[in-house]
Chains A and B, each alone.
Chain A
Amino acid sequence: MTGWVLRRIGQMALVLLGVVTLAFLMAYAVPGDPARLIAGPNADAATVASIRHQLGLDAPLWSQYTAFLGRLARGDLGTSYALHGAPVAEQLAQALPTSALIAVGGIVWQLVLGVPAGIVAAYRPKSAADRLATLGALIGLSAPPFWVGLLLLYYLAYRFSIFPLNGLGDPLWWYLALPTFTLGLAGAAWYARMTRAQMLEVLRSPYIQMARAKGLRERTILTRHALRNALTPLITMIGMDFGYFLGGVLIIESVFGLPGVGKLTYDAIDQLDVPIVTGAVLVAAFFVVVMNFLVDLTYAVVDPRVRNRR
């Protein structure tokens, strides 16, 4: 087990280093001169040069890279161009709780909408219920979330004033209902497909035939025997989704005006505030890689076969 964990941590570190390198190259490749941006349009060449020197932008690529790594190790993600030199890490940390709330809400909706649909579909394959669930999932998958969000806003918040129009307020869940539902709708389709496929697989297995032969009620077989095994792979999806969503749900947060990482990034794009954008990308990738690791770890603890596989 220890060997497995160490090897897995090594792999994770490698992927993270790659991710960081990619983010660095991205920030480095930015056209235009950040120093000129900070100095303002009226600054003379000497001022721009001195700012460039302060930022280390005149150093060779390699030393900029090591400096970048050094700063990262101290949790320094650089400073924002637009927000009066505010530290990027601080900005992201302020926005993260909102994104975490949205992430949890979205995942709950995905489970609530997706899993029952998948179970119903798998219970009688090719039945009307199955076709309906499958088509519903496909529509959920094909609907652009920004459009669904705007429609919900138009009907449920504007026309019929049931829900608040945007932002956060009290009670919190009331303000989060529409955005998390919108987020969950698209993902629910994947959960439904996954649940259906897994259930079909499990329902074919000998132990279910055994349970049927014992004369157990179909409902007991479904809930007590099949479901538990069929839903284990959902751990992966939940874990990965949580990682992805923490990186900010750009579109949902901007449509509903929620001050999370996504909204921060959205606003930063408008102002060409590259440090914020790369910072958000880094944080998101970091969470995804770490969640991936935690998911694998969960499996390894639960299922010894995973550890022995390479």
Chain B
Amino acid sequence: MTTPPEPPAVQHTEPVPPGVRDGLRRAGRSLLRDVPALISVAVLVLLLLAALLAPLLAPHDPMRTYAEGLSARGAPVPPGGDFPLGTDPNGRDVLSRLLYGARVSLTIGVVANGLATLVGVTAGVVAGYFGGLVDTVISRITDMVMSFPILLFCVALISVTGPSQRNVVLVIALVYWTYLARVIRGMVLSLREREFVTATRTLGVGDVRIMVRHILPHLIPAIIVYATLGVASSILIESSLSFIGVGVPVPEASWGQMIDDGRRYYEVAPWLLFAPGLCLIATVLAFNLAGDWLRDLLDPTAPERR
């Protein structure tokens, strides 16, 4: 029996992204081989469930002060009994606040970073594609924003606009879009010189269509990776802002703010530090590991992001 000859390799003018089903199968296989990535995805799924089901899972009202949540001397109650993870200095249930805090962290992380990605990709593509004055203006703006230390800049902006969930999201997006814009711009600079772009342009296709239909698909792997890593940074910044006291306003629960609540009592109530801190580090680590795994999987040769 003779094997049929291999069909000749088809020469594409542009590399075709592999099919979605094929990609998913590849992702599944690689996930099973990569233990840290597998754990991190599991953590993220659990976190999502915790956030979605918080009203069902939480044993108490996260914002209510319980009389039995404070000892006779007004100190927080240690873990056990009615309050599995103890109470905070205001007599509120730590476990319930932790679950609702997952909602806040995830929402802010995902929404802020989604906005930053949208703006960053648009700015990066436009700057890289058009070059010239447009590029200069956008690049100088990113230079300026990046001259400010991230946290200090966010703090200053919020102290001006007033703390609220919406402002935290906007401020994080306002700072973070620059990082993606810079990476994307670099990629587009080399993409726009490729033959398939020249060919499409020769056919009379408009700039917007070239950018959206022909350049953007090549950026998708990098965007997925940076968006995942970006959620980690956004959650970290949100928790820092809440810790400083300019993040999510009380009595809404946020992990950073719970740690801030705990810091004045850590000598007598160290559990106030452990629970939210462990949740925070697990979440951020999971997003970072997932991002690294995606980077290996999709192999965008993009440089690492600071």
Contact = CB atoms under 8 A, between A and B. Distances in A.
A278 B156 contact: yes
B244 A251 contact: yes
Contact of B240 (A22, A251, A270): A251
Contacts of A190: 306
Given A144-B256, A144-B280, A285 B148 contact: yes
A141 B277 CA distance: 14
Interface stretch (B88-96, B119-127, B283-291): B283-291
B219 interface: no
Contacts, number: 126
Interface string A274-291: 100110110011001100
16 contacts: A15-B144, A26-B160, A144-B281, A147-B280, A150-B262, A151-B273, A197-B304, A250-B151, A250-B244, A251-B240, A251-B243, A251-B244, A255-B263, A272-B159, A284-B148, A285-B149
A146 B260 CA distance: 9
Interface in B19-60: 36
Interface of A: 14-15, 18-19, 22, 26-27, 29-31, 135, 138-139, 141-147, 150-151, 153-154, 158, 190, 193-194, 197, 244, 247-248, 250-251, 254-255, 262, 265-266, 269-270, 272, 274, 277-278, 280-281, 284-285, 288-289, 292
A265 B239 CA distance: 18
Contact of B147 (A144, A193, A265, A285): A285
B135 to A, nearest CB: 13
B155 interface: yes
B164 to A, nearest CB: 12
B236 interface: yes
A265 B304 contact: no
B263 A150 contact: yes
A2 B159 CA distance: 42
B75 interface: no
A247 B259 CA distance: 24
